[in-house]
Amino acid sequence: MLSIHPSTQHSASTQRVVRKERSEVMKERQAGFSLIELLIVVAIILIVAAIAIPNLLRSRIAANESSAVGSVRTINTAANNYNSSYGNGLPASLAVMGTAAAGDTGASCGEALLIDNVLTAGIKTGYIFTYADGPGDTPNAAPAGGCAGFNLYTINADPVTPGVTGQRHFYSDQTGVIRFNATSVAGPTDAPLQ
């Protein structure tokens, strides 16, 4: 029978212990995520994004539509204030109701300062605003030193990109009633907002 010297036995067991300790140290150093764990996390993030993004877009469209309705109301109010202030009918354009630049301070019938310079430009929060003479109206002649005015007007607010910046189209006129159409340019026969 072979006999193993006790010092050799001790040396072999010491080597096993050292290898085991090295293995544990390497495992501690290599602590991290496996590929499967990372894929699961990415999949969860994608699922949450797929749920959240459409809701975010719908919220943005709703906010743009609310802003457009508010802007149409502002234009209606500004048109009536213009008529009261200058006495020659309703304003002939958005530019006449508004201001050419931020900081203007001198109001006149040609630049009444009743709406802000962004709305005066005709595009605000994803909507294009079109102000025009009402159907069948004959504009009032400009009095000496004054400005020509309308007796009737129409205002349309249409999304810059339908389905992205807004869904509904809005319409109003000198009556102040705001109407909408979900698929095309709104007009005087469309349903009023409730």
Q: What are phi and psi of 158, to 5 degrees?
A: -125, 140
Looking at residue 30, what is its pLDDT?
60
pLDDT surpasses 70 at 37: yes
Residue 46 included in any domain:
yes
Residue 7 included in any domain:
no
Q: Give the other-Cβ count within 10 Å of 98's Cβ.
A: 23
Residue 190 included in any domain:
no
3-state secondary structure of 162: strand
CA 193 vs. chain centroid, Å, equals 21
Q: How many domains does the chain have?
A: 1
Q: What is the pTM of this model?
A: 0.74
Looking at residue 23, what is its pLDDT?
66
The domain of 120 spans: 35-181
Residue 26 included in any domain:
no
Looking at residue 34, what is its pLDDT?
86
Residue 14 included in any domain:
no
Residue 9 included in any domain:
no
Looking at residue 173, what is its pLDDT?
97
Q: What is the mean pLDDT of residues 55-73?
A: 95
Contact residues for 160 (Cβ-Cβ < 8 A; gap 6+): 123, 126, 127, 128, 166
> Side chain identity at 7, as an amino acid letter?
S
Decide: 120 and 100 in contact? Cβ < 8 Å: yes
Per-residue pLDDT reduced to its tens digit, 127-163: 999 999 999 998 888 888 788 899 999 999 999 999 9
Residue 151 included in any domain:
yes
Residue 20 included in any domain:
no
